[in-house]
Amino acid sequence: MPRSYNNPSWDEPLPDDLETLAQRVGELRAGLQTRDDDTQGLKDTFHGPLDQYRSLFKHALDGILIADDDGRYVEANPAICELLGYSREELLSLGVDDITFGLQKDQVATLWRQFIDAGQLTGEYQLLTKDGNRLDMEYLAVANYVPGRHLSVIRDIRDRKQAERRVEENRELLRSVTDFARDAIVMLDSRHKVSFWNPAAEELFGTKESDALGRDFATEFFPQSGRDRLIETLNDSKEERPSTFSGEFLEVPAFSSGGRDRLVEMSLRKFDFNAEERLLAVIRDITDRRQLELELAKSERLESIGVLAGGIAHDFNNILVAILGNISLAKLDMPENSELRQILLEAETAAERAKDLTHQLLTFSRGGAPIRRACELGDVIADSVRFASRGTSALPEIEIDTDLKAAYVDEGQISQVIYNLVINSVHAMPNGGRIGVRARNLRVSSESNLPLTSGDYVQLEVSDEGEGIPSKHLPHVFDPFYSTKMGGTGLGLASSYSIMKRHNGHIHLDSAEGEGTRVYLYLPSSDTVGATITGKESDRIESGSGSVLVVDDEHSILSLLKTVLSRLGYDAILATNLREAVEKARDRYDQGDTIEIALLDMTIPGGPGGQDIANALWAIDPEIRAVMSTGYSNEFSLESIRDMGFSDCLPKPYKASQVAEVLYRVMSS
């Protein structure tokens, strides 16, 4: 609105007298001065903000561009010129479509009109510099800030974009690490709800990440037996107690994908993320490791017991040698049907059971490779089945082909395998049932689909009517320490598998839930054929001649063997240690006499054993044939016996007939 100055109107007539004229001129001059003052005030009012605007435009760190309605630039500040590499004059000769990357000119024109209609626009895009490079920019554009003029404020966001790319790369790297980590990695929010869940966690707990997110960690994924302790530990984090959060591990049972609880080891770390407290849990399944640790501790205890058992069995074997040997000698002088002979047979049977016990003790304490010989399996199968099923409600049904070939086996170890299988069948039928045992000859060819070389085998089948084995357990039945039985060791089938492999045989198991179990054994057969169910060991002894040097620290054994050898027709030479053996061998050699066989105890307390004695004897006479005698016979294979230079092995305890058989075999070879 025009300002009033209270001055006389310019249309008033001039006065006639000079005094009045002078007065009017003075008033007019005063009025002009007032207008000049007001005009200067208006100039000062506008010049202040205008100078500030110009300073802001010139010194702004952000780029500023002003364009007309056609998108041609009419003004540019120094910051945008430096950013794009143009001079001001060069920029004012360009338009929006000249520096926008990735769009055609008609596309830019369309967007420009849309922007003017909208009035304001924000976003990110790329601008082209003078040398052709692309720059990431963030812009704020205002249309018609004055009519026909459109303002764009442009900010360089290259550093921010680079930082975002680094963050994304780190995120991808972290995701790759967590995706490939074998440990479960879980992140919890302040309420202990799951906010991150890697693939290993999916595998351990059997829950997909999409199903796990948002669920309560402690109550949803851990059984009651470990839940309270875990909740207490998680709550400790809110009070910043040290405990697990200083690097210790928490061990708790957890639900798993396999349906059985697993023992897990958990490490927890507290940190802040987006101004919120988070917990990072790294979880490892230690079920198998803990089981192995327990089994190792058990193994160490068993090893100590085994050393004791081995010593007891060794000494007991020496006692049994005297018992069995003298009983067998006494039987030779008894009529077949005499009452005294029957008494001796009962005593011999009891001693044989004691022999089986020492054999099991020695197998437990030492183990070893099989000593394989041609063996008729009928009695072995029958005795093992009856022994394993005795006192149970299971009914064994044994069927053995009358023309069953002998198998090339270690009788004691195969007996143990049969025993293991029958015991498993008994346990599978707590209310009783039939156990089928069948042995037959089998020809294996390349088309038999068995992991065996082509040839003749004896197949032994053991079947039961039990509950069967679930399919998920079948791949693990031969794994050591894997057992689904309460209190089971998981060693029966594992040791059977090992024994069969050492016999160049095979073991196969078929089972299904509700259909029972069948186990098949395949053993290489020998050329010997014969019915074996009713056959008994012969007491007939083969006589011979020649000198036999016996070295043993047990005087009862030396006395027995002196009698046995004399009855067999051999000249017995007795010694208790290496020194005596060497002296007697050298004396005979110097006199021109020979020693055909040396029967050597492999373990002599306090002195050199059979191997050292054999080496010393061979140094005197390389033609001496050495036979090892040991209670640890299953520690040696027939091949290793020959590699050591021995001709044969006489396992303790033995009877007179067994001594005769070994000596006859060695003398005849």
Per-residue pLDDT tens for 218-243?
888 998 887 888 888 888 766 554 44
What is the tens place of the pLDDT at every residue in 338-389?
888 888 888 887 777 777 666 655 655 554 456 677 788 888 888 888 878 8
Residue from 406, 508, 414 nearest 463 by CA: 508
Burial class of residue 46, CB neighbours in 10 A (0-12, 13-18, 19+): exposed
- Phi, psi (5° rounding) for residue 624? -65, 130
- Cα torsion at 287, 288, 290, 296 (round to 10°)? 160
What angle, rounded to 10 degrees, do the helices at 377-389 and 411-428 form? 40
Highest mean predicted confidence (pLDDT) among 148-162, 461-475, 538-552, 636-650: 148-162
**Topology agreement, domain 181-285 and domain 377-531:** no
Compute the mean pLDDT over every residue in the chain, rounded to the nearest whole number: 80
Burial class of residue 200, CB neighbours in 10 A (0-12, 13-18, 19+): buried
Which tokens in the block code for residue 500?
A: 């069969």
What is the tens place of the pLDDT at every residue in 308-343?
766 777 777 778 888 888 888 788 777 778 888 888
Q: What is the DSSP string of 346-383?
A: HHHHHHHHHHHHHHHHHHHHT------EEE-HHHHHHH
pTM: predicted TM-score of the whole model, two decimal places = 0.44
CATH of 60-160, one of 3.30.450.20, 3.40.50.12370, 3.40.50.2300, 2.60.40.1180: 3.30.450.20
Which tokens in the block code for residue 309?
A: 């058992």
**Between 355 and 650, whose confidence is greater?**
650
Domain extents in the chain? 1-59, 60-160, 181-285, 377-531, 547-668
- Which residue pairs from 163-171 have beta carbons closer than 8 angstroms and sit at least 24 positions apart in sequence? none
Maximum C-alpha span of the chain:
191
Please confirm whether the linkage preceding 396 is cis (ω < 30° from 0): no
What is the tens place of the pLDDT at every residue in 280-304?
899 998 887 887 787 677 556 656 7
pLDDT at 210 over 80: yes
CATH of 547-668, one of 3.90.550.10, 3.40.50.2300, 3.30.1540.20, 3.30.530.20: 3.40.50.2300
Residue from 402, 362, 412 nearest 378 by CA: 402
**CATH no. of 377-531:** 3.30.565.10
pLDDT at 276 over 50: yes
Whole-angstrom distance, CA of residue 55 vs CA of residue 43: 18
Contact 604, 553 (CB under 8 A): yes
Q: Give the pLDDT score at 511.
A: 85
Residue 442: Cβ within 10 Å count: 19
Contact 653, 355 (CB under 8 A): yes
- Which residue pairs from 347-350 have beta carbons closer than 8 angstroms and sit at least 24 positions apart in sequence? 347/323, 348/324, 348/655
Q: Give the pLDDT score at 536.
A: 43
Domain 181-285 CATH class label: alpha beta
pLDDT at 631 over 80: no
Q: Give the pLDDT score at 38.
A: 56
